[in-house]
Chain A
Protein backbone atom coordinates (compact mmCIF):
# COMPACT_ATOMS: atom_id res chain seq x y z
CA UNK A 1 0.00 0.00 0.00
CA UNK A 2 1.02 3.50 -0.54
CA UNK A 3 1.96 5.42 2.53
CA UNK A 4 1.61 9.10 2.36
CA UNK A 5 4.46 10.46 4.33
CA UNK A 6 3.74 13.69 6.03
CA UNK A 7 5.67 16.46 4.53
CA UNK A 8 6.56 19.40 6.65
CA UNK A 9 7.55 22.53 5.05
CA UNK A 10 8.60 25.75 6.55
CA UNK A 11 8.87 29.08 4.96
CA UNK A 12 12.52 29.77 5.44
CA UNK A 13 12.83 33.31 4.32
CA UNK A 14 9.96 35.62 3.79
CA UNK A 15 9.18 36.01 0.16
CA UNK A 16 11.08 39.00 -1.00
CA UNK A 17 8.69 41.93 -1.05
CA UNK A 18 6.55 41.68 -4.14
CA UNK A 19 9.34 43.07 -6.28
CA UNK A 20 8.60 44.44 -9.68
CA UNK A 21 9.54 41.47 -11.75
CA UNK A 22 10.47 41.45 -15.38
CA UNK A 23 9.53 37.83 -15.98
CA UNK A 24 6.05 36.53 -16.15
CA UNK A 25 4.39 33.91 -18.26
CA UNK A 26 1.02 34.20 -19.92
CA UNK A 27 -0.43 30.71 -19.84
CA UNK A 28 -3.77 31.58 -21.36
CA UNK A 29 -2.38 31.44 -24.87
CA UNK A 30 -0.40 28.74 -26.60
CA UNK A 31 3.16 29.30 -25.54
CA UNK A 32 5.45 28.93 -28.51
CA UNK A 33 8.30 30.76 -26.84
CA UNK A 34 8.99 28.95 -23.54
CA UNK A 35 10.90 30.85 -20.86
CA UNK A 36 14.63 30.00 -20.75
CA UNK A 37 15.37 28.86 -17.21
CA UNK A 38 18.57 27.52 -15.64
CA UNK A 39 18.09 24.82 -13.01
CA UNK A 40 21.39 24.60 -11.17
CA UNK A 41 22.03 21.23 -9.47
CA UNK A 42 21.15 21.61 -5.78
CA UNK A 43 24.43 21.70 -3.84
CA UNK A 44 25.26 18.87 -1.47
CA UNK A 45 28.42 18.68 0.69
CA UNK A 46 30.56 15.53 0.99
CA UNK A 47 29.22 14.50 4.38
CA UNK A 48 25.69 14.75 3.10
CA UNK A 49 26.59 12.78 -0.02
CA UNK A 50 27.76 9.91 2.20
CA UNK A 51 24.45 10.00 4.07
CA UNK A 52 22.63 10.16 0.78
CA UNK A 53 24.28 6.93 -0.36
CA UNK A 54 23.44 5.25 2.95
CA UNK A 55 19.83 6.38 3.03
CA UNK A 56 18.82 6.38 -0.62
CA UNK A 57 21.55 4.56 -2.58
CA UNK A 58 21.84 7.76 -4.58
CA UNK A 59 25.13 9.64 -4.58
CA UNK A 60 23.91 13.11 -5.34
CA UNK A 61 20.26 13.54 -4.45
CA UNK A 62 20.65 17.30 -4.98
CA UNK A 63 21.22 16.94 -8.69
CA UNK A 64 18.51 14.25 -8.90
CA UNK A 65 15.99 16.68 -7.40
CA UNK A 66 17.05 19.36 -9.88
CA UNK A 67 16.41 16.85 -12.71
CA UNK A 68 12.87 16.27 -11.40
CA UNK A 69 12.30 20.04 -11.44
CA UNK A 70 13.85 20.43 -14.88
CA UNK A 71 11.71 17.66 -16.37
CA UNK A 72 8.48 19.04 -14.85
CA UNK A 73 9.15 22.54 -16.14
CA UNK A 74 9.97 21.16 -19.57
CA UNK A 75 6.83 19.01 -19.92
CA UNK A 76 4.65 21.97 -18.92
CA UNK A 77 5.63 23.47 -22.27
CA UNK A 78 6.03 26.88 -20.63
CA UNK A 79 9.73 26.63 -19.79
CA UNK A 80 12.90 25.82 -21.66
CA UNK A 81 15.43 24.43 -19.17
CA UNK A 82 18.95 25.26 -20.41
CA UNK A 83 21.75 22.73 -20.75
CA UNK A 84 23.84 22.40 -17.58
CA UNK A 85 26.97 22.13 -19.75
CA UNK A 86 26.80 25.85 -20.31
CA UNK A 87 26.57 26.83 -16.62
CA UNK A 88 29.56 28.94 -15.54
CA UNK A 89 28.94 29.21 -11.82
CA UNK A 90 29.28 26.40 -9.29
CA UNK A 91 26.01 25.36 -7.55
CA UNK A 92 27.07 26.36 -4.00
CA UNK A 93 28.34 29.79 -5.04
CA UNK A 94 25.37 30.49 -7.28
CA UNK A 95 23.04 29.64 -4.41
CA UNK A 96 24.65 32.29 -2.19
CA UNK A 97 24.65 35.02 -4.80
CA UNK A 98 24.47 34.37 -8.51
CA UNK A 99 26.69 36.37 -10.87
CA UNK A 100 23.75 37.56 -12.95
CA UNK A 101 25.93 38.55 -15.94
CA UNK A 102 27.12 34.93 -16.30
CA UNK A 103 23.54 33.61 -16.38
CA UNK A 104 22.40 36.39 -18.72
CA UNK A 105 25.23 35.39 -21.04
CA UNK A 106 23.66 31.94 -21.57
CA UNK A 107 20.29 33.65 -22.10
CA UNK A 108 18.71 32.42 -18.86
CA UNK A 109 15.87 34.63 -17.68
CA UNK A 110 15.30 32.76 -14.43
CA UNK A 111 17.56 30.64 -12.25
CA UNK A 112 16.83 28.03 -9.61
CA UNK A 113 19.57 27.29 -7.05
CA UNK A 114 19.51 25.25 -3.89
CA UNK A 115 21.19 23.22 -1.24
CA UNK A 116 20.48 19.76 0.18
CA UNK A 117 21.57 18.18 3.45
CA UNK A 118 20.80 14.76 4.84
CA UNK A 119 21.33 14.45 8.57
CA UNK A 120 19.69 12.31 11.28
CA UNK A 121 17.52 10.63 8.62
CA UNK A 122 16.10 13.96 7.60
CA UNK A 123 16.28 15.56 4.21
CA UNK A 124 16.54 19.33 4.30
CA UNK A 125 16.21 21.22 1.04
CA UNK A 126 16.35 24.94 0.45
CA UNK A 127 15.95 26.61 -2.88
CA UNK A 128 15.86 30.09 -4.39
CA UNK A 129 14.37 31.44 -7.57
CA UNK A 130 16.22 34.35 -9.16
CA UNK A 131 15.14 36.88 -11.74
CA UNK A 132 18.24 37.26 -13.94
CA UNK A 133 17.13 40.34 -15.84
CA UNK A 134 16.12 42.27 -12.72
CA UNK A 135 19.11 40.84 -10.81
CA UNK A 136 17.17 39.86 -7.72
CA UNK A 137 15.78 36.99 -5.68
CA UNK A 138 12.10 36.23 -6.35
CA UNK A 139 11.49 33.49 -3.84
CA UNK A 140 13.22 31.36 -1.23
CA UNK A 141 11.83 28.31 0.56
CA UNK A 142 13.06 25.40 2.64
CA UNK A 143 11.56 21.97 3.30
CA UNK A 144 12.34 19.22 5.77
CA UNK A 145 11.09 15.71 5.16
CA UNK A 146 12.13 12.06 5.19
CA UNK A 147 14.83 11.27 2.59
CA UNK A 148 12.63 8.82 0.61
CA UNK A 149 10.40 11.78 -0.22
CA UNK A 150 13.03 13.43 -2.40
CA UNK A 151 11.06 13.24 -5.66
CA UNK A 152 8.10 14.96 -4.01
CA UNK A 153 10.41 17.76 -2.92
CA UNK A 154 11.29 18.21 -6.60
CA UNK A 155 7.60 18.35 -7.49
CA UNK A 156 6.84 20.89 -4.76
CA UNK A 157 9.72 23.13 -5.90
CA UNK A 158 8.33 22.86 -9.46
CA UNK A 159 4.86 23.89 -8.22
CA UNK A 160 6.25 26.88 -6.32
CA UNK A 161 8.26 28.08 -9.32
CA UNK A 162 5.31 27.55 -11.67
CA UNK A 163 3.00 29.47 -9.35
CA UNK A 164 5.47 32.34 -8.86
CA UNK A 165 6.05 32.76 -12.59
CA UNK A 166 2.55 32.11 -13.99
CA UNK A 167 0.37 33.35 -11.14
CA UNK A 168 -1.54 30.04 -11.09
CA UNK A 169 -1.24 26.95 -8.93
CA UNK A 170 0.96 24.17 -10.29
CA UNK A 171 0.04 20.52 -10.83
CA UNK A 172 3.33 18.66 -10.34
CA UNK A 173 2.93 17.29 -6.82
CA UNK A 174 0.07 15.10 -8.00
CA UNK A 175 -0.58 11.52 -9.00
CA UNK A 176 -2.43 9.75 -11.78
CA UNK A 177 -4.58 6.70 -11.18
CA UNK A 178 -5.25 4.65 -14.30
CA UNK A 179 -5.95 1.20 -15.68
CA UNK A 180 -2.86 -0.76 -16.70
CA UNK A 181 -3.52 -3.05 -19.69
CA UNK A 182 -1.69 -6.12 -20.95
CA UNK A 183 -2.37 -9.01 -23.32
CA UNK A 184 -4.31 -9.41 -26.57
CA UNK A 185 -7.48 -7.41 -27.19
CA UNK A 186 -9.72 -10.46 -26.81
CA UNK A 187 -8.23 -11.36 -23.40
CA UNK A 188 -7.02 -8.08 -21.98
CA UNK A 189 -5.81 -8.12 -18.35
CA UNK A 190 -6.54 -4.87 -16.53
CA UNK A 191 -5.18 -3.67 -13.20
CA UNK A 192 -5.55 -0.47 -11.22
CA UNK A 193 -2.26 1.42 -11.16
CA UNK A 194 -1.11 4.66 -9.61
CA UNK A 195 1.97 6.74 -10.39
CA UNK A 196 3.41 10.20 -9.87
CA UNK A 197 2.32 12.69 -12.50
CA UNK A 198 5.74 12.37 -14.21
CA UNK A 199 5.41 8.59 -14.58
CA UNK A 200 7.61 7.55 -11.63
CA UNK A 201 6.76 5.40 -8.60
CA UNK A 202 4.22 3.16 -10.36
CA UNK A 203 2.33 0.86 -8.02
CA UNK A 204 -0.30 -1.72 -8.89
CA UNK A 205 -3.35 -1.77 -6.66
CA UNK A 206 -5.10 -4.88 -8.02
CA UNK A 207 -3.72 -8.17 -9.32
CA UNK A 208 -5.63 -8.43 -12.59
CA UNK A 209 -7.88 -11.30 -11.50
CA UNK A 210 -10.98 -9.31 -12.31
CA UNK A 211 -11.77 -6.62 -14.84
CA UNK A 212 -11.43 -3.09 -13.43
CA UNK A 213 -12.37 0.16 -15.15
CA UNK A 214 -12.68 3.94 -14.70
CA UNK A 215 -10.89 4.73 -11.41
CA UNK A 216 -11.41 8.30 -10.12
CA UNK A 217 -9.79 10.17 -7.26
CA UNK A 218 -11.66 11.77 -4.43
CA UNK A 219 -10.54 15.43 -4.70
CA UNK A 220 -10.36 15.75 -0.91
CA UNK A 221 -8.80 12.49 0.32
CA UNK A 222 -6.81 9.39 -0.61
CA UNK A 223 -9.91 7.52 -1.73
CA UNK A 224 -10.60 6.16 -5.18
CA UNK A 225 -13.85 4.97 -6.73
CA UNK A 226 -13.86 2.51 -9.64
CA UNK A 227 -15.78 -0.23 -11.41
CA UNK A 228 -14.82 -3.84 -10.65
CA UNK A 229 -16.19 -7.10 -12.08
CA UNK A 230 -15.35 -8.91 -8.82
CA UNK A 231 -17.27 -12.25 -8.82
CA UNK A 232 -18.60 -11.25 -12.25
CA UNK A 233 -20.85 -8.59 -10.71
CA UNK A 234 -20.00 -5.19 -12.17
CA UNK A 235 -20.29 -2.79 -9.24
CA UNK A 236 -18.88 0.55 -8.15
CA UNK A 237 -16.27 0.16 -5.40
CA UNK A 238 -14.62 2.53 -2.97
CA UNK A 239 -10.93 1.98 -2.28
CA UNK A 240 -8.78 3.60 0.39
CA UNK A 241 -5.32 3.67 -1.20
CA UNK A 242 -3.59 4.23 2.14
CA UNK A 243 -5.05 1.20 3.91
CA UNK A 244 -6.08 -0.94 0.92
CA UNK A 245 -9.57 -1.49 2.31
CA UNK A 246 -12.39 -1.55 -0.18
CA UNK A 247 -16.14 -1.88 -0.23
CA UNK A 248 -19.05 -2.00 -2.65
CA UNK A 249 -20.89 1.31 -2.97
CA UNK A 250 -24.56 0.85 -2.13
CA UNK A 251 -26.72 -2.24 -2.54
CA UNK A 252 -28.03 -2.13 -6.09
CA UNK A 253 -29.73 -5.09 -7.79
CA UNK A 254 -27.77 -4.65 -11.01
CA UNK A 255 -24.75 -3.01 -12.61
CA UNK A 256 -23.46 0.27 -11.18
CA UNK A 257 -20.83 2.10 -13.22
CA UNK A 258 -19.37 5.47 -14.30
CA UNK A 259 -18.61 6.60 -10.72
CA UNK A 260 -17.17 9.98 -9.74
CA UNK A 261 -16.86 11.87 -6.46
CA UNK A 262 -18.60 15.14 -5.80
CA UNK A 263 -16.03 17.96 -5.47
CA UNK A 264 -16.60 18.13 -1.68
CA UNK A 265 -15.76 14.40 -1.56
CA UNK A 266 -18.97 13.59 0.32
CA UNK A 267 -20.92 11.77 -2.38
CA UNK A 268 -20.40 9.31 -5.19
CA UNK A 269 -22.40 9.93 -8.34
CA UNK A 270 -22.80 7.02 -10.78
CA UNK A 271 -25.08 5.16 -13.18
CA UNK A 272 -27.25 2.23 -12.20
CA UNK A 273 -28.48 -0.02 -15.03
CA UNK A 274 -31.60 -2.10 -14.68
CA UNK A 275 -33.84 -3.74 -17.27
CA UNK A 276 -32.00 -2.08 -20.11
CA UNK A 277 -32.17 1.43 -18.70
CA UNK A 278 -29.35 3.41 -17.07
CA UNK A 279 -30.13 6.32 -14.73
CA UNK A 280 -28.00 8.51 -12.47
CA UNK A 281 -27.87 8.02 -8.70
CA UNK A 282 -25.87 9.44 -5.82
CA UNK A 283 -24.83 7.87 -2.56
CA UNK A 284 -23.88 9.94 0.47
CA UNK A 285 -20.71 8.44 1.92
CA UNK A 286 -21.55 9.45 5.49
CA UNK A 287 -25.14 8.29 5.92
CA UNK A 288 -25.23 5.90 2.92
CA UNK A 289 -28.45 7.44 1.64
CA UNK A 290 -29.05 6.70 -2.04
CA UNK A 291 -30.83 9.25 -4.20
CA UNK A 292 -32.14 8.84 -7.71
CA UNK A 293 -31.23 11.89 -9.81
CA UNK A 294 -32.55 11.06 -13.31
CA UNK A 295 -35.56 8.98 -14.31
CA UNK A 296 -35.73 8.58 -18.06
CA UNK A 297 -36.00 5.55 -20.40
CA UNK A 298 -32.82 6.62 -22.23
CA UNK A 299 -29.23 5.91 -21.23
CA UNK A 300 -28.03 8.49 -18.67
CA UNK A 301 -24.37 8.09 -17.74
CA UNK A 302 -20.92 9.70 -17.22
CA UNK A 303 -22.12 12.22 -14.60
CA UNK A 304 -19.74 14.94 -13.32
CA UNK A 305 -20.45 17.67 -10.75
CA UNK A 306 -19.62 21.35 -11.12
CA UNK A 307 -16.94 22.43 -8.59
CA UNK A 308 -19.56 24.22 -6.45
CA UNK A 309 -21.64 20.98 -6.28
CA UNK A 310 -24.69 22.85 -7.63
CA UNK A 311 -24.87 21.34 -11.12
CA UNK A 312 -24.25 18.03 -12.85
CA UNK A 313 -23.23 17.46 -16.45
CA UNK A 314 -23.95 14.03 -17.94
CA UNK A 315 -24.22 11.99 -21.11
CA UNK A 316 -27.63 10.89 -22.41
CA UNK A 317 -29.08 9.52 -25.65
CA UNK A 318 -32.57 10.83 -24.89
CA UNK A 319 -32.50 12.83 -28.14
CA UNK A 320 -31.82 9.56 -30.00
CA UNK A 321 -28.04 9.95 -29.93
CA UNK A 322 -25.32 10.51 -27.33
CA UNK A 323 -25.30 14.19 -26.27
CA UNK A 324 -24.18 16.28 -23.29
CA UNK A 325 -26.65 17.68 -20.78
CA UNK A 326 -26.50 19.89 -17.69
CA UNK A 327 -28.99 19.82 -14.79
CA UNK A 328 -29.26 21.10 -11.24
CA UNK A 329 -27.79 18.65 -8.75
CA UNK A 330 -31.30 17.60 -7.63
CA UNK A 331 -32.03 16.45 -11.19
CA UNK A 332 -34.25 19.40 -12.18
CA UNK A 333 -33.78 21.80 -15.12
CA UNK A 334 -32.26 19.31 -17.55
CA UNK A 335 -30.82 21.13 -20.57
CA UNK A 336 -29.02 19.75 -23.59
CA UNK A 337 -25.82 21.73 -24.26
CA UNK A 338 -24.11 19.90 -27.16
CA UNK A 339 -25.51 20.76 -30.57
CA UNK A 340 -22.54 20.34 -32.92
CA UNK A 341 -22.32 17.61 -35.53
CA UNK A 342 -21.52 14.14 -34.24
CA UNK A 343 -21.88 12.27 -30.95
CA UNK A 344 -20.69 13.63 -27.61
CA UNK A 345 -19.65 11.70 -24.49
CA UNK A 346 -17.71 11.75 -21.19
CA UNK A 347 -18.42 15.35 -20.11
CA UNK A 348 -16.25 16.45 -17.19
CA UNK A 349 -16.50 19.77 -15.43
CA UNK A 350 -13.32 21.85 -15.12
CA UNK A 351 -12.08 22.48 -11.56
CA UNK A 352 -12.18 26.19 -12.49
CA UNK A 353 -15.89 25.86 -13.21
CA UNK A 354 -16.05 27.61 -16.56
CA UNK A 355 -15.60 24.74 -19.02
CA UNK A 356 -16.72 21.19 -19.70
CA UNK A 357 -14.26 18.84 -21.42
CA UNK A 358 -15.69 16.04 -23.56
CA UNK A 359 -15.09 13.33 -26.15
CA UNK A 360 -16.65 13.80 -29.57
CA UNK A 361 -17.13 11.24 -32.34
CA UNK A 362 -17.68 12.61 -35.81
CA UNK A 363 -17.19 10.93 -39.18
CA UNK A 364 -15.11 8.12 -37.74
CA UNK A 365 -12.71 10.40 -35.82
CA UNK A 366 -12.51 11.01 -32.09
CA UNK A 367 -11.85 14.44 -30.60
CA UNK A 368 -11.10 15.78 -27.14
CA UNK A 369 -12.63 19.23 -26.77
CA UNK A 370 -13.97 21.83 -24.38
CA UNK A 371 -17.09 23.99 -24.34
CA UNK A 372 -18.56 26.54 -21.95
CA UNK A 373 -21.08 25.17 -19.49
CA UNK A 374 -23.95 26.51 -21.61
CA UNK A 375 -22.57 24.67 -24.65
CA UNK A 376 -21.19 27.75 -26.40
CA UNK A 377 -17.60 28.21 -27.54
CA UNK A 378 -16.93 24.59 -28.51
CA UNK A 379 -13.21 24.12 -29.18
CA UNK A 380 -11.68 20.82 -30.35
CA UNK A 381 -8.16 20.35 -28.99
CA UNK A 382 -7.06 17.13 -30.65
CA UNK A 383 -8.23 14.71 -33.36
CA UNK A 384 -7.29 11.03 -33.56
CA UNK A 385 -8.37 7.53 -34.60
CA UNK A 386 -9.57 6.80 -31.07
CA UNK A 387 -9.29 8.78 -27.84
CA UNK A 388 -11.60 9.52 -24.95
CA UNK A 389 -12.12 10.17 -21.25
CA UNK A 390 -10.37 13.48 -20.48
CA UNK A 391 -9.47 14.26 -16.85
CA UNK A 392 -8.44 17.76 -15.69
CA UNK A 393 -5.20 18.70 -13.94
CA UNK A 394 -6.15 20.23 -10.57
CA UNK A 395 -5.39 23.75 -11.85
CA UNK A 396 -7.61 23.23 -14.90
CA UNK A 397 -4.83 23.96 -17.43
CA UNK A 398 -4.07 20.46 -18.76
CA UNK A 399 -6.17 17.45 -19.80
CA UNK A 400 -5.01 13.84 -19.59
CA UNK A 401 -6.85 11.18 -21.64
CA UNK A 402 -6.18 7.85 -23.37
CA UNK A 403 -5.67 7.04 -27.00
CA UNK A 404 -5.92 3.71 -28.82
CA UNK A 405 -4.34 2.78 -32.14
CA UNK A 406 -6.05 0.91 -34.96
CA UNK A 407 -5.21 -2.77 -35.25
CA UNK A 408 -4.93 -4.81 -38.42
CA UNK A 409 -7.32 -7.68 -39.17
CA UNK A 410 -5.36 -9.99 -36.86
CA UNK A 411 -5.54 -7.50 -34.02
CA UNK A 412 -1.87 -6.57 -34.29
CA UNK A 413 -0.67 -3.01 -33.87
CA UNK A 414 -3.09 -2.21 -31.09
CA UNK A 415 -1.95 -0.04 -28.20
CA UNK A 416 -3.52 2.10 -25.50
CA UNK A 417 -1.51 5.02 -24.10
CA UNK A 418 -2.02 8.06 -21.90
CA UNK A 419 -1.64 11.50 -23.48
CA UNK A 420 -1.90 15.03 -22.20
CA UNK A 421 -2.66 18.33 -23.89
CA UNK A 422 -2.86 21.94 -22.74
CA UNK A 423 -6.19 23.68 -22.65
CA UNK A 424 -4.70 25.92 -25.33
CA UNK A 425 -4.49 22.95 -27.71
CA UNK A 426 -0.68 23.07 -27.61
CA UNK A 427 1.87 20.83 -25.92
CA UNK A 428 0.33 17.47 -26.77
CA UNK A 429 2.52 14.68 -25.40
CA UNK A 430 2.48 11.04 -24.40
CA UNK A 431 2.59 10.32 -20.68
CA UNK A 432 5.01 7.46 -20.01
CA UNK A 433 3.59 4.34 -18.35
CA UNK A 434 5.18 0.94 -17.71
CA UNK A 435 2.42 -0.91 -19.56
CA UNK A 436 -0.39 0.06 -21.92
CA UNK A 437 -2.79 2.34 -20.08
CA UNK A 438 -6.30 3.84 -20.15
CA UNK A 439 -8.89 5.68 -18.02
CA UNK A 440 -6.54 8.19 -16.32
CA UNK A 441 -7.72 10.33 -13.40
CA UNK A 442 -5.67 13.22 -12.04
CA UNK A 443 -5.42 13.75 -8.26
CA UNK A 444 -5.60 17.07 -6.43
CA UNK A 445 -2.36 18.69 -5.28
CA UNK A 446 -1.02 16.44 -2.51
CA UNK A 447 0.71 19.18 -0.52
CA UNK A 448 -2.10 21.72 -0.22
Chain B
Protein backbone atom coordinates (compact mmCIF):
# COMPACT_ATOMS: atom_id res chain seq x y z
CA UNK B 1 0.00 0.00 0.00
CA UNK B 2 2.66 2.43 1.15
CA UNK B 3 5.09 1.12 -1.40
CA UNK B 4 2.71 1.44 -4.30
CA UNK B 5 1.79 4.94 -3.14
CA UNK B 6 5.36 6.11 -2.94
CA UNK B 7 6.09 4.41 -6.25
CA UNK B 8 3.22 6.29 -7.84
CA UNK B 9 4.35 9.54 -6.27
CA UNK B 10 7.91 9.06 -7.52
CA UNK B 11 6.50 8.39 -10.94
CA UNK B 12 4.44 11.59 -10.71
CA UNK B 13 7.46 13.62 -9.67
CA UNK B 14 9.49 12.25 -12.57
CA UNK B 15 6.64 12.90 -14.96
CA UNK B 16 6.18 16.41 -13.60
CA UNK B 17 9.89 17.19 -13.88
CA UNK B 18 9.82 15.99 -17.49
CA UNK B 19 6.86 18.21 -18.26
CA UNK B 20 8.33 21.23 -16.53
CA UNK B 21 11.78 20.76 -18.06
CA UNK B 22 10.12 20.38 -21.43
CA UNK B 23 8.42 23.73 -20.84
CA UNK B 24 11.65 25.27 -19.64
CA UNK B 25 13.47 24.44 -22.87
CA UNK B 26 10.85 26.35 -24.81
CA UNK B 27 11.26 29.45 -22.70
CA UNK B 28 14.30 31.65 -22.85
CA UNK B 29 16.33 32.21 -19.72
CA UNK B 30 14.30 33.09 -16.66
CA UNK B 31 15.47 33.92 -13.16
CA UNK B 32 14.23 30.54 -12.02
CA UNK B 33 16.43 28.78 -14.58
CA UNK B 34 18.75 26.36 -12.87
CA UNK B 35 17.20 26.92 -9.43
CA UNK B 36 14.30 24.50 -9.64
CA UNK B 37 13.75 21.09 -11.10
CA UNK B 38 10.08 20.29 -11.32
CA UNK B 39 9.04 22.36 -8.34
CA UNK B 40 11.93 21.18 -6.17
CA UNK B 41 14.48 23.83 -5.29
CA UNK B 42 17.98 22.99 -6.56
CA UNK B 43 19.76 26.29 -5.82
CA UNK B 44 22.05 27.07 -2.92
CA UNK B 45 20.88 30.57 -1.84
CA UNK B 46 19.58 29.55 1.54
CA UNK B 47 21.75 26.51 2.19
CA UNK B 48 24.07 26.54 5.20
CA UNK B 49 26.78 24.00 5.93
CA UNK B 50 27.22 21.67 8.88
CA UNK B 51 30.84 21.34 7.82
CA UNK B 52 32.85 21.96 4.69
CA UNK B 53 30.92 20.30 1.84
CA UNK B 54 28.05 19.10 4.08
CA UNK B 55 24.83 21.03 3.22
CA UNK B 56 22.33 21.30 6.06
CA UNK B 57 19.08 20.99 4.09
CA UNK B 58 17.13 19.11 1.44
CA UNK B 59 14.12 20.27 -0.58
CA UNK B 60 10.76 18.74 -1.46
CA UNK B 61 8.10 18.94 -4.16
CA UNK B 62 4.67 20.39 -3.27
CA UNK B 63 2.76 18.14 -0.85
CA UNK B 64 5.54 15.52 -1.09
CA UNK B 65 8.00 14.00 1.34
CA UNK B 66 9.94 11.94 -1.19
CA UNK B 67 13.71 12.43 -1.22
CA UNK B 68 15.14 13.38 -4.60
CA UNK B 69 18.47 11.97 -5.85
CA UNK B 70 20.14 15.21 -4.83
CA UNK B 71 18.54 15.07 -1.37
CA UNK B 72 19.77 11.53 -0.82
CA UNK B 73 23.24 12.66 -1.85
CA UNK B 74 23.11 15.50 0.70
CA UNK B 75 21.85 13.19 3.44
CA UNK B 76 24.64 10.65 2.75
CA UNK B 77 27.13 13.49 3.26
CA UNK B 78 25.38 14.34 6.54
CA UNK B 79 25.50 10.69 7.60
CA UNK B 80 29.24 10.49 6.87
CA UNK B 81 29.83 13.65 8.84
CA UNK B 82 27.74 12.37 11.74
CA UNK B 83 29.69 9.12 11.76
CA UNK B 84 32.94 11.06 12.00
CA UNK B 85 31.52 13.31 14.73
CA UNK B 86 29.88 10.76 16.96
CA UNK B 87 29.45 13.16 19.88
CA UNK B 88 27.15 15.40 17.90
CA UNK B 89 23.37 14.94 17.97
CA UNK B 90 21.03 16.63 15.54
CA UNK B 91 17.48 17.92 15.22
CA UNK B 92 15.84 17.55 11.83
CA UNK B 93 13.34 20.38 11.28
CA UNK B 94 10.52 19.78 8.81
CA UNK B 95 8.96 22.72 6.97
CA UNK B 96 6.19 23.43 4.47
CA UNK B 97 5.37 26.34 2.19
CA UNK B 98 2.59 28.86 2.91
CA UNK B 99 0.14 27.45 0.36
CA UNK B 100 -1.55 24.90 2.59
CA UNK B 101 -3.77 24.71 5.64
CA UNK B 102 -1.86 25.15 8.88
CA UNK B 103 -2.71 21.83 10.51
CA UNK B 104 -2.06 19.68 7.47
CA UNK B 105 1.27 21.47 6.99
CA UNK B 106 2.32 20.62 10.55
CA UNK B 107 1.75 16.94 9.73
CA UNK B 108 3.52 17.32 6.37
CA UNK B 109 6.55 18.96 8.02
CA UNK B 110 6.75 16.07 10.45
CA UNK B 111 6.56 13.59 7.57
CA UNK B 112 9.38 15.40 5.71
CA UNK B 113 11.63 15.56 8.78
CA UNK B 114 11.12 11.84 9.30
CA UNK B 115 11.90 11.05 5.67
CA UNK B 116 15.31 12.69 6.21
CA UNK B 117 15.76 11.04 9.61
CA UNK B 118 14.96 7.58 8.23
CA UNK B 119 17.52 8.02 5.48
CA UNK B 120 20.21 9.00 8.01
CA UNK B 121 19.30 5.89 10.03
CA UNK B 122 19.63 3.73 6.90
CA UNK B 123 23.16 5.07 6.60
CA UNK B 124 24.05 3.91 10.05
CA UNK B 125 23.22 6.82 12.30
CA UNK B 126 21.58 5.79 15.55
CA UNK B 127 17.96 6.97 15.96
CA UNK B 128 18.89 8.21 19.46
CA UNK B 129 21.06 10.89 17.93
CA UNK B 130 18.30 12.35 15.74
CA UNK B 131 15.21 14.13 16.98
CA UNK B 132 12.64 15.74 14.73
CA UNK B 133 10.45 18.81 14.99
CA UNK B 134 7.88 20.12 12.55
CA UNK B 135 7.31 23.84 12.10
CA UNK B 136 4.74 23.43 9.34
CA UNK B 137 4.60 26.74 7.48
CA UNK B 138 5.57 28.80 10.53
CA UNK B 139 9.26 29.39 9.79
CA UNK B 140 9.82 30.26 6.14
CA UNK B 141 13.37 31.26 5.08
CA UNK B 142 12.10 33.19 2.08
CA UNK B 143 9.17 35.54 2.59
CA UNK B 144 8.18 35.95 -1.05
CA UNK B 145 4.85 34.65 -2.39
CA UNK B 146 6.09 33.01 -5.59
CA UNK B 147 6.95 29.46 -6.71
CA UNK B 148 10.70 29.91 -6.18
CA UNK B 149 10.25 31.23 -2.62
CA UNK B 150 7.86 28.40 -1.82
CA UNK B 151 10.34 25.83 -3.16
CA UNK B 152 13.03 27.14 -0.77
CA UNK B 153 10.62 26.82 2.14
CA UNK B 154 9.60 23.18 1.44
CA UNK B 155 12.60 21.71 3.24
CA UNK B 156 14.04 19.71 6.05
CA UNK B 157 17.03 21.19 7.85
CA UNK B 158 19.51 19.24 9.96
CA UNK B 159 20.65 21.33 12.92
CA UNK B 160 23.24 20.54 15.59
CA UNK B 161 21.50 19.89 18.90
CA UNK B 162 24.56 20.23 21.12
Contact = CB atoms under 8 A, between A and B. Distances in A.
Interface centre among A234, A361, A388 (most CB of B within 10 A): A234
B107 A404 contact: no
Contacts of B149: 409
B110 A315 contact: no
B111 A346 contact: no
A208 B51 CA distance: 33
A404 B144 contact: no
A317 B141 CA distance: 26
Contacts of A317: 63, 104
Nearest to A179: B102
Contact of B134 (A255, A277, A404, A439): A255
A406 B145 contact: yes
A301 B138 CA distance: 17
B98 interface: yes
A299 interface: yes
Interface stretch (A56-64, A92-100, A180-188, A331-339): A180-188
Nearest to A406: B145
B138 A277 contact: no
A411 B107 contact: no
Interface string A105-119: 000000000000000
Contacts of A227: 106
Contact of A388 (B9, B102, B113, B138): B102
A444 interface: no
Interface stretch (A3-11, A141-149, A268-276, A426-434): A268-276
Contact of A359 (B101, B113, B145): B101
Interface in B17-66: 63, 65
Given A234-B134, A276-B115, A386-B98, A414 B104 contact: no
Nearest to B112: A276
- Which bracket fits the contact residues of A? 35 or more
B102 A276 contact: no
A299 B111 contact: yes
Nearest to B146: A409
Contact of B107 (A299, A406, A407, A410): A299
A313 to B, nearest CB: 13
Given A184-B143, A232-B133, A234-B133, A278 B102 contact: no
Contacts of A271: 103, 106-107
B143 A411 contact: yes
A407 to B, nearest CB: 5
Given A255-B133, A297-B1, A406-B145, A389 B102 contact: yes
A315 B108 CA distance: 13
Contacts of A321: 63
Contact of B144 (A273, A301, A389, A409): A409
Interface centre among B63, B110, B135 (most CB of A within 10 A): B110
Contacts of B78: none
A185 B143 contact: yes
B106 A273 contact: yes
Contacts of B65: 276
A255 B114 contact: no
- Which bracket fits the contact residues of B? 35 or more
B143 A301 contact: no
Contacts of B115: 276
A119 B100 CA distance: 55
Contacts, number: 110
A276 B114 contact: yes
B144 A408 contact: yes
Contacts of B113: 276
Interface centre among A255, A389, A406, A410 (most CB of B within 10 A): A255
A258 interface: yes
Nearest to A405: B145
Contact of B104 (A345, A404, A406, A407): A345
A273 B115 CA distance: 13
A213 interface: yes
A377 interface: no
A300 to B, nearest CB: 8
B100 A414 contact: no
B141 A404 contact: no
Nearest to B5: A320
Interface string B82-124: 0000000000000000111111101110110111001000000
Contacts of A255: 106, 110, 133-134
Given A320-B5, A388-B101, A407 B138 contact: no
A185 B140 contact: yes
A322 interface: yes
A66 interface: no
Given A273-B106, A361-B100, A389-B101, A297 B2 contact: yes
A361 B98 CA distance: 12
B145 A257 contact: no
Contacts of A322: 63, 101, 104
Contacts of B101: 302, 315, 322, 345-346, 359, 361, 388-389
Closest 3 CB pairs of A and B: A411-B143, A276-B114, A345-B101
15 contacts: A211-B138, A227-B106, A234-B133, A257-B103, A273-B107, A276-B115, A317-B63, A345-B101, A346-B103, A386-B98, A408-B145, A409-B149, A410-B143, A411-B142, A414-B143
Interface of B: 1-2, 5, 8-9, 63, 65, 98-104, 106-108, 110-111, 113-115, 118, 133-135, 138-146, 149
Given A276-B114, A321-B63, 10 more contacts: A211-B135, A213-B106, A258-B103, A276-B111, A278-B107, A301-B107, A364-B99, A407-B143, A407-B144, A408-B144
